[in-house]
């Protein structure tokens, strides 16, 4: 699974970072930095929580590249 960010929607509020700073960091200028894009199976529920916490609906969790 991979984290995708719609940068046009992201407002840099940081709710995702409050759920897990291991994956997300919002810089002082509001820019979202992804520390990891690929999500291992054991972290999927955590990232789903971060996706739901985003008030701008800028995050999604999608399966890997389609063949």
CATH code of the domain containing 13: 3.30.70.20
Task: Name the average pLDDT for the chain.
Answer: 94
Instruction: Give the pLDDT band of residue 66 (cuts 50, 70, 90).
Output: low
Question: What CA–CA distances, in Å, run from 21 to 15, 64, 66?
Answer: 10, 22, 28
Tell me the residue range of the domain where 29 lies.
Answer: 2-62
- pLDDT over 60 (residue 36): yes
Determine contact, residues 59/16, Cβ cutoff 8 Å: yes
Closest to 35 measured CA to CA, from 44, 23, 27, 26: 23
Question: pTM of the prediction?
Answer: 0.88
Residue 67 lies in a domain: no
Residue 44 lies in a domain: yes
- pLDDT over 60 (residue 67): no
As for how many domains the chain has, the answer is 1
- pLDDT over 80 (residue 4): yes
Residue 28 lies in a domain: yes
Instruction: Give the pLDDT band of residue 29 (cuts 50, 70, 90).
Output: very high
């Amino acid at each position: 699974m991979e984290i995708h960010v719609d940068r046009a929607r992201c407002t840099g509020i940081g709710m995702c970072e409050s759920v897990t700073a291991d994956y997300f960091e919002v810089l002082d200028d509001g820019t979202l930095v992804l520390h990891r894009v690929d999500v291992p199976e054991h972290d999927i529920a955590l990232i789903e929580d971060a996706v739901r916490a985003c008030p701008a609906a800028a995050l999604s969790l999608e399966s890997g590249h389609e063949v």
